Structure 1
């Protein structure tokens, strides 16, 4: 996966926003991760990437997308991106923090908020 920052603290001095593109090669999967306290919005430009989470019962939930689709990932929610297709997938990502936070995890787990 290749990430390209477009709007960030480093590129334009943004204080509460990060925006950029991710290119996902065919037959590729990210590692399991979350984006800290950042809200993440994803717009699918091309390809058919998939986003994998765990449901409360421990089963995988898979969101299959196509160009023009939007996906929202709440803060601290573990997930991974996959591109099972034979073509590169390109997505635009916006996050509510000035830089791209990626916290790698050893495995997916069910997110249980404190409180």
Structure 2
């Protein structure tokens, strides 16, 4: 059967007007979400605000010179997109690994990985967009004694190995 771009069985009885595309204004984000010391998270897309079933999205701001407490996000995958500023990520059982990211860079955090976000600038706020693989924000704050000098890790593309 040819695909005509229309799935009548999927259309709500009253059409897509209020259940189709949503625009969530940037000035209406909800700070009432799970927090970690040192950062400000705000939800844009979740079940309550947009009816999202499988993803959560919002913003994260980390003040100049600040760093977060160590935490992980349970079974959730996270993607962080750096809008402005300089991010330093530490991760591992003792936060022994480190990498930096700047504007335009994406950061992927797998499930259960202990990590810490650091604003590597003393002058500029670090602003990021955050997307997670479930409609509820899960944050498990950890009490970790970090190693003093973490080991730098460069990105290696698994598809195009050097």
Q: TM-score, normalised by structure 2?
A: 0.62
1:22 aligned residue (60, 63, 79): 60
By how many angstroms is 1:54 displaced? 2.4
Post-superposition CA distance 1:31-90 (Å, at most 9, x none): 0000010000110000001110127xx671111111000110000110010113121010
1:1-115 to structure 2, matched below 5 A, reads 1-54=39-92, 60-85=96-121, 86-107=123-144
Q: CA 1:41/1:59 → structure 2, altered by over 3 Å: closer, same or farther?
A: closer
Q: Which runs of 5+ in 2 are unaligned?
A: 1-38, 147-162
Runs of 4+ residues deviating >3 angstroms: none
Report how many aligned residue pairs link the two structures.
107
Q: CA 1:99/1:108 → structure 2, altered by over 3 Å: closer, same or farther?
A: farther
Structure having the higher strand fraction is 1
Q: Which runs of 5+ in 1 are unaligned?
A: 110-115
Higher relative contact order (CA 8 A, sep 6+): 1
Q: CA 1:83/1:20 → structure 2, altered by over 3 Å: closer, same or farther?
A: same
CA–CA distance in structure 2, aligned partners of residues 12 and 71 of structure 1 = 24
CA–CA distance in structure 2, aligned partners of residues 13 and 108 of structure 1 = 39
